[in-house]
């Protein structure tokens, strides 16, 4: 239910993927260094001459090695083929090198695609495999911060938050000044409800004042913890002076644009969003797709739409277009991509329930999100709604009882009251249900929120009292001159059809589509 009110809170917090599925954007490149590029010397050429003079296993292997260290695989191709023709005489590492040379190693390959057949829990399977393999590798070589990051992520996905924290601490100790490690440490702290800590660490780090990626993170977290960003002025200067390549400035420009949008500086925000799309990360594209809800004049170029792993951007696009089945499919891909994040689980469960009446899918989304975060109140609420709709009111009541008075994730009171109303209706306590829905109606502040409460209430009334349902539907009518949220419009149209007698009974209750992270 908090969908629309909270959508304004999308921030450009860093994405977090496993090292083997990360798109290697400019974030993973170094900033330009002073000094000359290392002169390659003559060893590759010499190795080539020796192989041509006397083709043999030794000279071929040396040429292959030399081609690898000079990153010129084409120069070692004939030597690699020479070796592979004598495969049985070679050690495994030599074969591996020769195969690398012949496998077109410099072609930039995107991250592995997410299988359309994958179920929502496959993220858990991957996480378990990562835990097993990384632990073995780290026993062999514990000074590998990237493997510790992978381990931390896998633990976060499986809900082992303390272990995730410990793994992240090790990564930070090993690479206390590395951009990627710093950003992901902040990301994990945020996931664990420690946004203040995340902000402080980034804001105070000496590298932040010179690194556009850390600046972008500082800006995003400053907005989340409601502080005044320290590096906004530097950030504007970096972007204005084009101090780094567009790839390095993409998220910084997007974060500044978000800041401007919140401050009502729409014109500057639009300009910065355009800058963020010059060589964008998928996170920056998602930010623009989200911002298009309030800034429809923003244009996402075709090139930006093709950035790999843009599941969230695709979700926003489908949601804006009212393409609900596609939106749910995108939320699924997004959840498989970021299984520790509650946002795709929340959005997926909301849309599946509210737009598609697919309560089974809504339940799966909510349950998957709760594996990573047992304290997410929105997901417990959505699970309770999905269960109630599946006529499991006692299971729903249990799920609802798991909602805590957590300050980091407080569920809006009117949402909780609406869910109470739904559960009461489904338990047969109609009057009690009406009282809770009435409370929710009074508590909902925003126009769309109130309409959603009424629509859900009307849905339940339709099961017991058609006249009341019609009255409620009328109250949730169109407001002249107000842009309708596609989801509200869709739900009302559907309910109108059924109140008119055309369709079967459906839904009732409130599912939250709460933007949290």
Partner 1 sequence: MSSPLPTSSMNLETALIGQALLGGWTITSLRVEVSSGPIRIPTLSFEATDGQQSKALVKVLDLRIDPAAPDELKDLELRLMVFNYQRQLIERLAGERLRGVVRGLQSGSIPFASAPLGRIYFLIVEWSDDDLRSQVALNDRFDSAYALRVLHQTATALHELHQREVAHLSVRPANIVFIAETVKLGEFSCAVDARKPRPDGAPALDWASAPPEFLYQAPIDSMNARCLIDLYQLGSVVAYVFSGTSLTAQLGLKLQPIHHWKRWTGSFAEALPYVQHAFGDVLRDIAPNFPEACRDELIGAVRDLCAPDPALRGHPLNRAGQGLQYSTERYISLFDRLASRLELGIRRVPR
The binding site for partner 1 (CB under 8 A) comprises: 19, 24, 28-33, 35, 38-44, 46-47, 50, 53-54, 57-58, 61-62, 64-66, 68-71, 89-94, 96-97, 100, 105-106, 108, 136-138, 140-141, 143-147, 174-175, 177-181
Q: Is 143 exposed, middle or buried (0-12, 13-18, 19+ CB in 10 A)?
A: exposed
Distances (CA, A) of 494 to 29, 133, 201, 326, 516: 50, 49, 49, 18, 28
Q: Of 104 and 505, which has the nearer Cβ to partner 1? A: 104
* 114: Cα separation from own chain's centroid: 14
Q: How far is the CB of 62 from partner 1 (least distance, A)?
A: 7
Nearer to partner 1, 108 or 405 (CB): 108
The C-alpha torsion from 245 through 249 and 250 to 256, rounded to 10°, is -160
Asked if residues 412 and 373 have their Cβ atoms less than 8 Å apart, the reply is no
Q: Is 460 left (phi over 0), alpha (psi -120 to 50) or beta?
A: alpha
Quote the least distance from Cβ 64 to partner 1, whole Å. 8
Distance CA 384, CA 436 (A): 15
Nearer to partner 1 among residue 69 and residue 442 (C-beta): 69
| Closer by beta carbon to partner 1, 29 or else 321 | 29
Pair of tokens at residue 294 = 């309030």
Least Cα distance to 487 among 506, 511, 464, 469 occurs for 511
Task: Let me know: does 323 contact 298? Beta carbons within 8 Å.
Answer: no
Nearest residue (CB) to partner 1, 136 versus 263: 136
**Please, what is the minimum distance in Å from the beta carbon of residue 176 to partner 1?**
11
| H/E stretch holding 183 | helix 179-191
CB 251 within 8 A of CB 276: yes
Nearest to 147 by CA among 126, 173, 171: 171
Which residue stretches of 427-485 are H helix? Answer: 430-443, 447-464, 466-475
Closest distance of CB 508 from partner 1, Å:
51
Question: Of 299, 293, 216, 302, which Cα lies nearest the Cα of 253?
Answer: 216
- Whose Cβ is closer to partner 1: residue 93's or residue 241's? 93
The minimum distance between CB 51 and partner 1, in angstroms, equals 11
How far apart are the C-alpha atoms of 50 and 61, rounded to whole Å?
A: 11
Least distance between partner 1 and beta carbon 55 (Å): 13
| Least Å from the CB of residue 482 to partner 1 | 49
Q: Which is nearer to partner 1, 178 or 402 (CB)?
A: 178
CB-nearer residue toward partner 1: 65 or 165: 65
């Amino acid at each position: 239910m908090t969908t629309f009110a909270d959508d304004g809170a999308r921030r450009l917090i860093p994405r977090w993927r496993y090292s083997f599925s990360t798109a290697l954007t400019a974030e993973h490149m170094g900033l330009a260094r002073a000094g000359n590029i290392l002169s390659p010397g003559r060893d590759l050429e010499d190795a080539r001459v020796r192989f041509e003079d006397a083709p043999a296993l030794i000279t071929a292997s040396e040429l292959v090695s030399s081609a690898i260290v000079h990153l010129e695989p084409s120069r070692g191709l004939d030597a690699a083929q020479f070796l592979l023709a004598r495969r049985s005489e070679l050690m495994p590492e030599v074969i591996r090198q020769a195969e690398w040379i012949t496998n077109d190693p410099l072609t930039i390959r995107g991250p592995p695609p997410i299988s359309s057949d994958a179920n929502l829990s496959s993220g858990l399977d991957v996480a378990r495999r990562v835990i097993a393999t990384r632990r073995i590798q780290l026993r062999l070589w514990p000074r590998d911060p990237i493997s510790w990051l992978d381990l931390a992520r896998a633990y976060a996905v499986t809900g082992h938050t303390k272990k995730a924290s410990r793994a992240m601490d090790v990564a930070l100790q090993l690479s206390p000044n590395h951009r990627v490690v710093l950003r992901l440490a902040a990301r994990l702290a945020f996931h664990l409800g420690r946004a203040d800590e995340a902000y402080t660490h980034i804001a105070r780090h000496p590298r932040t004042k010179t690194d556009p990626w850390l600046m972008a993170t500082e800006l995003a977290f400053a907005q989340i913890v409601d502080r005044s960003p320290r590096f906004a002025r530097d950030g504007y200067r970096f972007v204005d002076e084009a101090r780094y390549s567009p790839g390095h400035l993409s998220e910084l420009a997007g974060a500044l644009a978000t800041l401007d949008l919140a401050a009502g500086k729409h014109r500057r925000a639009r300009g910065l969003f355009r800058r963020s799309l010059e060589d964008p990360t998928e996170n920056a594209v998602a930010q623009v797709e989200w911002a298009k809800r309030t800034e429809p004049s923003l244009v996402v170029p075709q090139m930006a739409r093709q950035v790999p792993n843009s599941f969230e951007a695709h979700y926003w696009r489908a949601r804006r277009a009212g393409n609900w089945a596609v939106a749910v499919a995108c939320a699924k891909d997004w959840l498989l991509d970021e299984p520790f994040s509650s946002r795709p689980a929340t959005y997926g469960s909301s849309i599946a329930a509210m737009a598609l009446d697919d309560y089974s899918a809504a339940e799966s989304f909510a349950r998957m999100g709760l594996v990573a975060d047992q304290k997410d109140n929105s997901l417990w609420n959505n699970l309770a709604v999905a269960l109630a709709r599946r006529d499991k009111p006692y299971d729903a009541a249990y799920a609802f009882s798991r909602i805590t008075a957590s300050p980091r994730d407080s569920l809006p009171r009117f949402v909780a009251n609406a869910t109470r109303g739904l559960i009461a209706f489904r338990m047969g306590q109609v009057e009690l249900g009406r009282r809770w829905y009435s409370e929710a109606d009074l508590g909902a502040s925003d126009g769309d929120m109130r309409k959603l409460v009424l629509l859900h209430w009307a849905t339940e009334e339709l099961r017991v009292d058609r006249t009341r349902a019609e009255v409620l539907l009328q109250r949730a009518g169109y407001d002249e001159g107000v842009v309708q949220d596609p989801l509200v419009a869709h739900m009302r149209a559907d309910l109108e059809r059924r109140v008119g007698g055309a369709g079967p009974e459906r839904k009732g209750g409130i599912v939250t589509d709460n933007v949290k992270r």
